[in-house]
Structure 1
Amino acid sequence: MDILKAVILAIIEGITEYLPVSSTGHMIIASSFFGIAQEDFTKLFTIVIQLGTILSVVVLYFKRFFQSVDFYFKLLVAFLPAVFFGLLLSDFIDSLLENPITVAVSLVIGGFILLKVDDWFGNSENTDISYGTAFKIGLFQCLAMIPGVSRSGASIVGGMTQKLSRTAAAEFSFFLALPTMMGATLKKSYDYYAAGFTLTSEQVNLLIIGNVVGFIVALFAIKTFIGYLSKHGFKIFGYYRIVVGIALLIIHYFISPLTVL
Structure 2
Amino acid sequence: MIINIFKAIILGIVEGITEWLPISSTGHLILVDEFIKMDISPAFTEMFNVVIQLGAIMAVVVLYFDKLNPFSVKKDAQQKSDTWSLWSKVIVACVPAAVLGLIFDDYLDAHFHRFLPVAIMLIVYGIAFIVVEKQNKSKTPKCTSLADFTYKAALIVGFFQVLSLIPGTSRSGATILGAILIGASRFVATEFSFFLGIPVMFGASGLKIVKFLANGNTFGVQEILVLLVGMVTAFIVSIIAIKFLLDYIKRNDFTVFGWYRIILGAILIIYWLVAM
- For Structure 1 versus Structure 2, the TM-score category normalised by the shorter chain is over 0.9
Structure 2: gaps of 5 or more residues: 70-79
Partner residue of 1:18?
20
* Residue 82 (1) aligns with residue 67 (2): no
Q: Distance in 2 between matches of 1:137 and 1:12?
A: 25
**TM-score, normalising length: structure 2:** 0.89
Partner residue of 2:74?
none
How far has the Cα of 1:100 moved from its partner? Answer: 1.6
Partner residue of 2:75?
none
> Could you tell me which of 124, 136, 141 is aligned with 1:121?
136
Show the 5 A alignment for 1:240-255: 240-253=260-273, 255=274
Structure 1: gaps of 5 or more residues: none
Partner residue of 1:8?
10
Answer whether contact 2:118 2:167 (CA < 8 A) is retained: yes
Q: Distance in 1 between matches of 2:26 and 2:135?
A: 26
How far has the Cα of 1:250 moved from its partner? Answer: 0.4
Q: Distance in 2 between matches of 1:118 and 1:173?
A: 17
Larger Rg: 2
> Could you tell me which of 49, 52, 70 is aligned with 2:52?
49
Q: Distance in 2 between matches of 1:72 and 1:236?
A: 31
* Residue 256 (1) aligns with residue 275 (2): yes
Partner residue of 2:208?
188
Structure 1 residues 38 and 125: alpha-carbon distance in aligned structure 2, compared to 1, 3 A threshold: farther
The more displaced of 179-188 and 228-237 is 228-237
Q: Distance in 2 between matches of 1:237 and 1:47?
A: 22
Partner residue of 1:197?
217
Partner residue of 1:63?
66
Letter in 1 for 2:141: S
Query: Once the two structures are superposed, what CA deviation does each residue of 1:45-81 show, in whole Å capped at 9, x if it has no partner?
Result: 1111111111100111122103521111111100101
Query: Once the two structures are superposed, what CA deviation does each residue of 1:199-253 show, in whole Å capped at 9, x if it has no partner?
Result: 0012111111111110000000011011112211111101100110000000111
Structure 1 residues 220 and 98: alpha-carbon distance in aligned structure 2, compared to 1, 3 A threshold: closer
Partner residue of 1:156?
176
* Residue 32 (1) aligns with residue 34 (2): yes
Q: Distance in 1 between matches of 2:46 and 2:216?
A: 15
Answer whether contact 2:59 2:239 (CA < 8 A) is retained: yes
How many residues were matched structurally?
256
Q: Distance in 1 between matches of 2:159 and 2:104?
A: 14
Answer whether contact 1:121 1:163 (CA < 8 A) is retained: no
